[in-house]
Homo-oligomer: A and B are copies of this chain.
Amino acid sequence: MVMNSEQDESCLVCRLRYYIDISDRDERLLRKLEENQISIAAKADLNAQDNIDSLFVVKSGWLYSYVDLDETSRQVLRIHYPGDVVGLTDVAMQESFGTVKAATKAVLCPFPKKHLDDIFTQSPRLTALIFSLGMLEQVVLMDRLKIIGRMSAVDRVAHFLLEIHARLKIHAPKDVDGEFDIPLTQEAIGDAIGLTNVSVSNALTQLEFDGYLRCNKRRVTFREMEKLKEKINFKDRYFKIDTKWFPDA
């Protein structure tokens, strides 16, 4: 993605506008979060030490956070897409949980925790939205818990791909319609859903054999998406949230 020098494009504002109207005043609050930006190369770790006390808005690229268990084992916790705020979970803690790695080259906007204050004190409506999106993230984690804890390897991979598709569909609808590029190695996918790269590969072969989808060169193409959703009882969590109870602007 190309930077717009007029700062006319804010992924974050754009993302939030999907859910509620954003007043000019609120928009100014949000743009303050994107005043600075840094670039990061693909496969590089985001060094939290350099940016302690910082949160990040993702302007472009994919990232993911993970924890290492030992030399040979890690768990990928979350995928971060453009418009996401990275590091909110560290807000609560003094030390950071896991590491953030760039899956592609990426541009981030760092901002200090203190800027959350401004939002909390000045815009109850934005606060409610950010809070709700945090809860939505929790729901996604719980879905992940469910698939890792209780589903077969094939179903886990299917669910994971459908989840990504659902998410992209909202925030990059033009690029995504039954197919999308996934800049993750099969090892990273496995680390996200509790499998080895070998099992992921086998699962993809199986899904293709069964006619549900095709995955080639990091491009996923669904063939029978509805049938697949039904088979694994997939629910799209991203589509809408309940904003009726939000404070007025």
- Residues of chain A having any CB pair with chain B under 8 Å: 53, 67, 69, 73-75, 77-78, 88-94, 97-98, 112-114, 116-117, 120-121, 124, 127-128, 130-139, 141-142, 144-146, 148-151, 191, 193-194, 233, 237, 240-242, 245-247
5 further contact pairs, Cβ within 8 A, besides A117-B124, A117-B247, A138-B141: A93-B135, A93-B136, A120-B127, A127-B127, A141-B141
Which residues from B are CB-within-8-Å of A92?
132-133, 135-136, 139, 241-242
Q: Which residues of B contact A151 (CB under 8 A)?
A: 69
Interface CB pairs A-B, < 8 A, 13: A69-B151, A91-B132, A92-B133, A116-B128, A117-B128, A120-B127, A120-B128, A120-B131, A121-B124, A124-B127, A141-B142, A141-B145, A148-B194
Q: Judging by beta carbons under 8 Å apart, are B149 and A245 in contact? A: no
Which residues on B sit within 8 Å (CB–CB) of A145? 75, 77, 141, 144-145, 148
**Which 5 pairs from chain A and chain B are nearest by CB?**
A149-B194, A92-B135, A113-B245, A92-B132, A120-B124
Q: Say yes or no: B139 contacts A138, CB within 8 Å.
A: no
Interface SS of chain A: helix, strand, loop or mixed?
helix
Assembly CA distance A143 to B116 (angstroms): 25
Collect the chain B residues with CB atoms within 8 Å of residue A74's CB.
150
Task: State the Cβ distance, A157 to closest chain B Cβ, in Å.
Answer: 14
Q: Is the CB of A242 within 8 A of B142?
A: no
CA gap between A147 and B73 in the complex, in Å: 11
Residues of B within 8 A of A141 (CB): 138, 141-142, 145
Looking at the assembled complex, report how far the CB atom of A92 sits from the nearest CB atom of chain B, in whole angstroms.
4
Measured in the bound complex, the distance between the Cα atoms of B120 and A246 in whole Å is: 9
Residues of B within 8 A of A117 (CB): 124, 128, 245-247
Closest to A94 in B: B242
| Set of chain B residues within 8 Å of A121, measured between Cβ atoms | 124, 247
Distance in angstroms between the alpha carbons of A114 and B242 in the assembled complex: 12
Residues of B within 8 A of A149 (CB): 75, 148, 191, 193-194
Given A121-B124, A134-B131: A89 and B150 within 8 A (CB)? Answer: no
Cβ A138 vs Cβ B75 within 8 A = no
